[in-house]
A and B are shown apart, each in its own frame.
Chain A
Amino acid sequence: MSASNNNCPYINSDQKISIVFDGKKYTAFKGDTIASALLRNNIRLISRSFKYHRPRGIYTCGIEEPNGIVQILSEHNEPNTRATIKQIYEGMEIESQNRWPSLNFDLGAINNLLSPIFSAGFYYKTFMGPKGFWKKIYEPLIRKTAGLGKPPKDFRSKSTHQYHNVDIVIVGAGLSGLIAARKLIATEHDVLLIEQDSFFGGVLKNSNKIKKINGQEIKSWLEETEKLLKNAKNIRILKNCLVTSYNFTNHLIALEDKFVGKKINSNKSELTLHKIRTTHTILANGHIERFISFRNNDLPGVMLASSFEKYIHRYGVVPDANPVIFTNNSTTISLLKSLIDLGHKPAAYIDARDEKEIEKELSDCLEKNSIPFYKNSEVEGCDGNKKVQSISIRNNKNKIIKINSSMLCVSGGVNPDIHLFTQSKGLVKWDQNLLTFKPDTSFQNTITLGSVSGNYDYKKTNEEIANKLFFLKTKNEDIKIEINDTNSFKIKELWETQHEKKSNWSKSFIDLHNDVTTKDIKQAIIEGFDRIEHLKRFTTNSMGTDQGKISSINSLGIVSKLLNKKISEVGTTTYRPPYAPLSFSAIAGRSTYEFYDPQRKTPIHAWHIKKNAVFEDVGQWRRPWYFKKNNETMHQAVQRESKQTRETAGILDGSTLGKIEIKGRDALEFMNLMYTNPFTKMKPMSSRYALMLGEDGMIKDDGIVCKISDTHFISTTTSSGAPKVLADMEEYLQTEWPHFQVYVNSTTEQLTTFNISGPKSRDIMSKVFNDIDFSNEKFPFMTFKIFKYMNTEVRIMRASFTGEIGYEIYISPKHSLELWEKIFEHGRDFNLVPYGTETMHLLRAEKGYVVIGQETDGTVTPIDINFTWMIGKKKKDFIGKRSLTRSDTAREDRKQLVGIIPLDKSQFIEEGQHIVECKTLPRKIKKPIPYLGHITSSYHSPNLNHCISMALIKGGGKLMGAKFFVSTSNGTENIPVEVVSPVFIDPENKRLVS
């Protein structure tokens, strides 16, 4: 039965809180965690274990909890919450996990009966056959039963990130952390003190091991310290904040829970992820107790001794008034004293150590209080129905004695919490006196203080801190620590105890979270997994969400005994961040939903919305895909837009395409090197379609180059290629040709671009810009003009991507909407139609124009797509030139660009389909079908009334008129097709240049 400790200052017993656990209501106090609340109400059974579905209870009082993992039903149904950490609020609804139909009666317990089958690594040896069973039976069943909790629902995460740049971080506001912080007050350092609990203190609040500091009672010293630190200008405090990662270089990640003990307010961020860059890291994050393996050491009612002690002092609840204490070391003496001080008596004290190692203080205390004392003894096992009811003790005469009890407190030793230290790539060393690993050599600027550095002697705390922090010019404050019990740490090596009876079903656990027994370790070694990293993965030992914090060192001890090796030779597995489970919500921060990626819009975006544009994403840009009139489908819209453009005129918002200005003394030479085209003899105020290659000869980007003079060029690029083209130009200018005087700059967002084309586009342009002569003689194809208009500078280039007469208009964003609307005003009489990217793609395909990324994929050269004419033959050098004559790029059977039409004009060819020689795909494909090429673009042309496609096919240049087949996504009948020229409309370009 549990009892209360009314002296606990951290629990507000005036404020009652009611919670619901598995449908039943319980009362507890403000400040309780779920675990302390349940213990207060004598609830011992909290979950069913992962594999065997064994009944489990609360084992610890902290982040290292392996059993007490629950689902929070209120709010958004958060799974896998540690009951030992989560503070309750009024009305919290909690459900236990991994059991059906109930915690008390779980059908999954059948796994426990079948446990000989489920030994270590069983999944490597089972579920192999019969054929087909994996897909239909095993996998669905395993998927259903695996996992612990159920996923959250209706949850919109709202976490934030916060950045810190400080001189010193102190991890842990326990005894050493607080003393170190006090010594740093009013020094020149910026200090960040991080504490995972809601209160300072560490061992000071979790036990009564320390009586007084500098003559002050602990409570008062803590209050004074907190006040001093809060008022210190150079010290910042973070509470409820857990450091989860220690990365390179002196970079820490910490997770702060903003709603401890409160219901989440959906208007505020619930978690803050702190990203901290520091010069020095002081690790004062303390130690974790470890257990001992014995038969049924997982029954509800078995708990770590220091956790029991923490429940008394930190949470004001004595989980059981008469527990049995089993230990192999001296740290449990303070637990014994805490119980006696509250008027409770342990039912027995079992110490594995020899008579001569046992402290006189301890034997005297036990004798004085008439507590049964078993020296040089160990617990053989415990028994009971879903809870501890009796404990079997193997006494110093090797006789088994059974006693009745409902709680067993175990202490197998103390481990410095070296997770963060090893994450920082520090080296640890085995200490034979402490029987644990402790930090040895730092790799980064790491200092360890207190129990994490292996210093268990509180009397030496002040000296340690003064020495290790001396170089920081800390304040010379002398701290006198008075302790309550014996200070010398003594321990006897004991990892597991012997079972009295040999049985297939008697289990002693080495990993509670993943249900790994000591027998599994032995089996793994027999099977040859004797390296610790192999053993970990084969048995899943320490791979749970608790990372085996209370047990992984024990497993090393057992392995060392089995292999007859020193523990330092066995080594440890690599501790990886995060230290404790970290939600994706915290990692994502605010970069979620509409804030995941910036959305770029053109200056006339609002006009597109008004005209019912349906949008598509091109990189980060929102571009009109098509404009929907009345109730038409996309197909109808695109056909309408395409037809109208070739009949009269259409206009596209092309502002997203990249624009780069290239200026300087050596601009001409630079442009000749960057592109395949020759620019030397190019006339000023003329334009040229240009290609940019990679050094491997493959097409990287295309665009139109306008030459204003030999020292001033303007390039366009593809929408998504713009940043890369600019970056590549800068790279070459800075690293390869630093002697060039050339400056490049992006003007993509400084100008809007309108592309108008169609037989009537010239008429419309003449009306809008009535000072300019648009006749063929005065404004030839591929030339441009710059002039003043609407009080700003406008550039008009005669070019088009549609094969009709067309113009590209460049104007500043401020004037863009006005000009756009003016164009429509004058275009109304000519039925000017706005069109989107789909029509743009269709119209260019009718002319056989390629799209970078559609017809090219990084493996296509200019020769492959009939662009040999774009290569300047007389140019000595340009990026990619040498690669065009490599044996592989000069092959005759390379994939080359062709057009494809179906023989039956009613059929439609799909983009991405393969060109093959067989009419029908066989039902069972026994040999690979030869791949001849694939369809790169395909559309239904409204101007020709049948499907037109562009394709890359091996040796295409010599295949005009050849007949092949194209696969479909619809069955095995391939479409008969013919290879034609990719230019489907106006192959002599009469419409374009008239």
Chain B
Amino acid sequence: MILINCPYCGERDQSEFSNGGEAHVARPENSENLSDKEWGEYVFFRANPKGIFYERWVHSHGCRKWFNAVRDTSTDEILKIYKLDEKTPEPKDFSNTLKTPSGEPEVGSGNFTVKKQS
């Protein structure tokens, strides 16, 4: 269970929050001009990358306010938390590790614990 630094309440356990999926997905304004496929992508599709991910959280068991976070999904490290009206951080501000904590193991070895001998 990770620690999340709510911008309004301070550091709290992850269990006090609900995850809101991908951030910065705006509701299309003139949806009547979108094809079924384009509209369907807004309704049903969200990104799920390994690595740097911009997402939303809400402090359900606290202040009930929404905010954004940048998280490295391969290590679960929260890189930045920013309020909804604050400037969105640039991806270049973060180094994309794309690594599991033990580095990428050999394909098929299932071996995640032993450090690779160089």
Contact = CB atoms under 8 A, between A and B. Distances in A.
A225 interface: no
A572 B113 contact: yes
A883 B43 contact: yes
Interface string A856-891: 000000000000000000000100011100110000
Interface residues of B, number: 37
Contacts of B101: 425, 427, 443
B115 A427 contact: yes
Closest 8 CB pairs of A and B: A571-B111, A533-B110, A882-B31, A427-B115, A425-B101, A571-B114, A734-B66, A443-B101
A575 interface: yes
A277 B26 CA distance: 37
Contacts, number: 89
Nearest to B26: A736
Contact of A887 (B36, B43, B84, B115): B36
Interface of B: 1-3, 13, 20, 26-27, 31-32, 34, 36, 39-40, 42-44, 56, 58, 60, 64-66, 76, 84-85, 101-103, 108-115, 117
B21 to A, nearest CB: 11
Interface stretch (A244-252, A519-527, A579-587): A244-252
Nearest to A430: B114
Nearest to A440: B115
Nearest to B2: A249
Given A534-B110, A571-B109, A734-B66, 5 more contacts: A277-B3, A425-B101, A427-B103, A430-B114, A437-B114
B85 A738 contact: yes
Interface footprint category on A: 35 or more
Contacts of B58: 727, 730-731
A719 B31 CA distance: 32
A254 interface: no
A818 to B, nearest CB: 34
B34 A882 contact: yes
A738 B84 contact: yes
A425 B102 contact: yes
Interface of B, helix, strand, loop or mixed by DSSP: loop
Nearest to A443: B101
A111 interface: no
B111 A427 contact: no
A574 interface: yes
B40 to A, nearest CB: 7
Given A248-B76, A532-B110, A730-B64, A428 B39 contact: no
B54 to A, nearest CB: 13
A251 B42 CA distance: 37
B100 to A, nearest CB: 9
A881 B84 CA distance: 26
B40 A429 contact: no
Contacts of A247: 1
Q: Kindly name the residue among B20, B32, B66, B115 whose own CB sees the greatest number of chain A CB atoms within 10 A.
A: B115
Contact of A882 (B3, B32, B56, B110): B32
A429 B118 CA distance: 12
A532 B108 CA distance: 11
Interface string A727-741: 100110011101000
Nearest to A423: B113
Contacts of B111: 532-533, 571-572
B113 A886 contact: no
Nearest to A422: B113
A534 B44 CA distance: 37
Nearest to B29: A877
A266 interface: no
A757 B64 CA distance: 38
A531 interface: yes
